[in-house]
Structure 1
Amino acid sequence: MTVQHRIIATDPAGGAIGLAARAAAAAAAASVAAESVDREARFPAEAMAALRSQRLLGAAIPIEFGGEGAPVRTLAEICYTLGRACSSSAMIFAMHQTKVACLTRHGRGEPWLGSLMRRIADRQLLLASSTTEGQGGGNVRSSAAAVEPDGEWITLERAATVISYGAEADGIVTVARRSADAGPSDQVLCAFLKEDYTLERLSGWETLGMRGTCSSGFRLRARGRPEQVLGARYADIHNQTMTPVSHILWSSAWAGIAAGAVERAQAFTRTAMRGAGGASPPGALHYARAVSSLKQARALISQGIDRFEAAEAEPDALAALDFQTAITMLKVEVSELAVAAVSSAMRANGLAGYREDGDFSIGRPLRDILSAPIMIHNDRILANLATATLMTPVAASLRD
């Protein structure tokens, strides 16, 4: 598996500086529509149009396929920037880029997938993810639906508990059993474009927060070519790419949401101090806690990215228990820290934060961030981790 990173910081068209400026422009568009997206529980069309116009949806596509080869570190920064502006837009971008990473890291050398990468870069296609299914809920490593042969074609029908922004996407990347006689964990990853499938709505998305992700349930009926199934085992894709990339990008989006709330708490605290002749308001200590939680979250994300970059070209290192434990706990710990940061920001702002109107409101980011420990539930993750590490010796020293 070859990983390509070529971001030139001084290149204003396609380098890291260019991507940062384009992300800021997309975030500005997302911010304008964020309240409407939340209130109406609608897809953030303005943000997606801006991401397309800034050509950010294909930023991670390898250079030889028409993209910019943006590494995960750069994508994480974009998620953070978007998270400060619109939670749903940040999460959609994170989910899309996770799917792109799976294709680019495991679909090299497969002609149909190479063609798909070119289409994503050229047409700025938006990919949705379908990994949850039926009663299995968030157990991504167990599938009920299977890929079935149909002459020269393949078919797949699955009842998806959630397909975030499925109705708005240009394609869906989904997991399934390899065949009808395969076990639930013998899985493959499939990529279908809009013309390959139909969606029948099974449930809606009337939620407390993250309303713009439009994560309804659908029955997915797809028909495509056999080459639309990745050759790599999903178990390897899951360990080497799906888990680390999604956890880094989700965490970055959550940290961005927290940063937006902390910024409002800072503005409120400064305003209150000016009005009180420099005396700290009662909620100032909660502002300090919010800042501390955000700093911890950002540090963990930075460590997670460093760890991923050190191992990303080595499948054995990515599959190692130490790496999997660390990258799994990144999602758990950052999600909790982000909730703590936004909750502290709410308390710092007091009634001004509790109100839904006004410049110091924390209501929307609080409702959005509460999804972080629940979407792919932390309890499920910790239970699986406990089982995986049960037979691992406890470290005998600080050096181990």
Structure 2
Amino acid sequence: MNPVLAAVDQASPHPAPADSATLIAAAQAAAAVAATHADAVDRDARFPDEAFVTLREHGLLGAMIPTHLGGAGATLDTVAAICRVLGGACAATGMVYAMHQIQVACVLEHGMGSPWHERLLSRVAGEQLLLASATSEEAIGGALRNSGCAVNAEGERFHLLKMAPTISYGAHADGILITARRSADAAPSDQVLVCALKADYTLQSLNTWDTLGMRGTCSNGFRLEAAGDVAQILPVPFGQIADETMTPVSHIVWSALWLGIAGDAVQRAKTFFQGQARARPGSMPPSAPRVAEAVSLLQMIEGRLDLALAHQRERHVAKAVSSFTLAAEMNGLKTAVSTMALDVVQQAMLVCGMAGYKHGTPFSLGRHLRDLWSAPLMINNDRILSNTANLLLADRT
């Protein structure tokens, strides 16, 4: 039994969740492995296999799954903390882990009560399956709430064909959650979310993934053809899944990941700054204001993320937060953190100077900067800000 699940009393009919400290310690072990291979993963644009071997050994792919289904029963707060730890070591590892947990959250929140989806969660926990997502589509782009492809159902079976310009780590996943129109005659916005396991689909690569940053996510484009049982379709409309789960969880775990990347950059800058100060006792290095500014920005990100997590907990308990308020807050979290985290690394680069600009030094920050340039582009900030403006126009609270 892996170390995390060993901390859960499996003999009990209602085993207790693994505590957060145990899960984060396991994440730190995986992060140490990820950090060792991070430069190679980035250079070669390859999947972070070594880190995911360790994540699986510790049962962390099933962290959020309830204990009665074999998982660790972790909260979203703990999963966000894990994403932060992994992000500080290897952004690609942290992003793949975060995106997997987004898919788990969608099945967990909207598939409980469905035997097929509960079995899927049990398999994710027991077999440490990795779940990916196919939401983008040729001619649709990144418009999450529209699909061109459709589910074609006949009896109890379905078939669909999707031309996806990106499926992050698609070739390395054990399953993919696919957005599609409910039927061939449905409107583009009348969508469902289909859970397909590797045996249910074929992938034909359409392009390569040779990018500025986040190179280890291996987000190639694919021709995705899937067939299976209609029971694999989540029982609620995708619009509800996106509003209640996919969007808020995405923005929270991505923000935690970006915080981890920025935090590692600040740590490198602080170490460099302290070394400068020791070399010239009695004189403050000229980079002092930059260090202070970077730390201040990092604290602002932490505060924004903590507030979003608190509001998400309240929503689960009271279910009283208006959809307008939740959507506007989560949109604001994403746009703010994606911008501030990039600013943090740029401040850290100015502190470290050429030691940060060069590859192969203890203070190198090129990978951090390139990885974080993806943050404003993942669901483009301009698109999100326009959506938020539309929400505010309609909001009467």
1:169 to 170, 173, 185: 173
Are residue 54 (structure 1) and residue 58 (structure 2) matched?
Answer: yes
**Cα 1:150–1:315, aligned 2, differ >3 Å: closer, same or farther?**
farther
| Alpha carbons 2:212, 2:370 under 8 Å: kept | yes
Aligned equivalents of 2:156 and 2:394: distance in 1? 46
The answer to whether residue 262 in structure 2 is matched with residue 255 in structure 1 is: no
Q: 2:276 aligns with which of 269, 272, 275?
A: 272
- Judge conservation of contact 1:30–1:82 (CA < 8 Å) in 2: yes
Aligned to 2:248: 244
Separation in 2 of the partners of 1:50 and 1:349? 32
Q: Is the 8 A contact 2:17 2:67 kept in 1?
A: no
Tell me which residue corresponds to 1:370.
373
Letter in 2 for 1:390: L
Structure 1-normalised TM-score? 0.93
Match for 2:91 among 79, 87, 93?
Answer: 87
Closer/same/farther in 2, CA of residues 12 and 182 from structure 1, 3 Å limit: closer
The 5-angstrom pairing of residues 150-169 of structure 1 reads: 150-169=154-173
Extract unaligned runs of 5+ from structure 1: 1-6, 394-399
- Measure how far apart 1:40 and its partner are: 0.4
Partner of 1:125: 129
Q: Which amino acid aligns with 1:248?
A: I
Shift of residue 284, structure 1, vs aligned partner: 2.1
The aligned counterpart of 1:348 is 351
SS across alignment from 2:61: coil
Q: Which amino acid counterpart does residue 137 of structure 1 have in structure 2?
A: G
Deviations 1:137-186 (A, max 9, x none): 21100111111014431011101111000000000011111111111111
Q: Following the alignment from structure 1 to structure 2, what is the Cα–Cα distance between the partners of residues 48 and 160?
A: 25
| Aligned equivalent of 1:109 | 113
Alignment of 1:221-236 (within 5 A): 221-236=225-240
Distance (Å, rounded) in 1 between the aligned partners of 2:299 and 2:226: 44
The superposition leaves residues 216-240 of structure 1 with CA deviations (integer Å, 9 ceiling, x where unpaired) of 1101000010000001111111111
Contact 2:175 2:196 in 1 (8 A): yes
Asked if the contact 1:240/1:315 (under 8 Å) is kept, the reply is no
Q: Distance in 2 between matches of 1:345 and 1:136?
A: 38
**What residue in structure 1 maps to residue 3 of structure 2?**
none
Q: Which amino acid aligns with 1:144?
A: G
* Shift, 1:283, TM fit: 1.9
Q: Which one of the candidate residues 269, 293, 298 is aligned to 1:294?
A: 298
The number of equivalent residue pairs is: 385
Q: Output the amino acid matched with 2:351.
A: A
Does the 8 Å contact 1:283/1:350 carry over to 2?
no
- Equivalent residue in structure 2 for 1:190, among 194, 200, 203: 194
> For 1:106 and 1:198, how far apart are their aligned partners in 2?
26
User: Are 1:12 and 1:18, in contact at CA under 8 Å, matched by a contact in 2?
Assistant: no
Letter matched to residue 68 of structure 2:
E
Aligned to 1:3: none
Q: Name the stretch that deviates more: 383-392 or 61-70.
A: 383-392
Distance (whole Å) between structure 1 residues aligned to residue 91 and residue 30 of structure 2: 13
Instruction: Find the counterpart in structure 2 of residue 138 from structure 1.
Output: 142
In angstroms, what is the RMSD of aligned CA positions?
A: 1.7
Give the C-alpha shift of residue 280 in structure 1.
Answer: 2.2
CA distance in 2, matches of 1:222, 1:358: 46
Q: Which runs of 5+ in 2 are unaligned?
A: 1-6, 9-14
Match of 1:36 among 34, 40, 45: 40
Change beyond 3 A, Cα 1:175–1:316: farther
Q: Which amino acid aligns with 2:136?
A: T
Distance in 2 between the 1:164 and 1:353 partners? 29
Q: Identity of paired residues, percent?
A: 47
Query: What is the CA-CA distance between 1:375 and the residue it aligns to?
Result: 1.2
Amino acid at match of 2:89: A
DSSP-derived class of the 1:136 partner: coil
Q: 1:359 to 1:278 in 2, by over 3 A?
A: farther
Shift of 1:13: 8.7
* Per-residue deviation, 1:324: 1.1
Tell me if the contact between 2:147 and 2:189 (Cα under 8 Å) persists in the aligned partners.
yes
Question: Is the partner of 2:284 in helix, strand or coil?
Answer: coil
Structure 2: distance between partners of 1:12 and 1:117: 17
CA distance in 2, matches of 1:244, 1:188: 18
SS of residue matched to 1:134: coil
Moved more, 296-305 or 149-158: 149-158
Distance 1:315 1:160, change over 3 A: farther
State the alpha-carbon separation in 2 of the partners of residues 102 and 266 from structure 1.
Answer: 39
C-alpha separation in 1, matches of 2:312 and 2:17:
27
2:192 aligned counterpart, secondary structure: strand
* Cα distance, 1:204 vs structure 2: 1.1
1:215 aligns with 2:219: yes
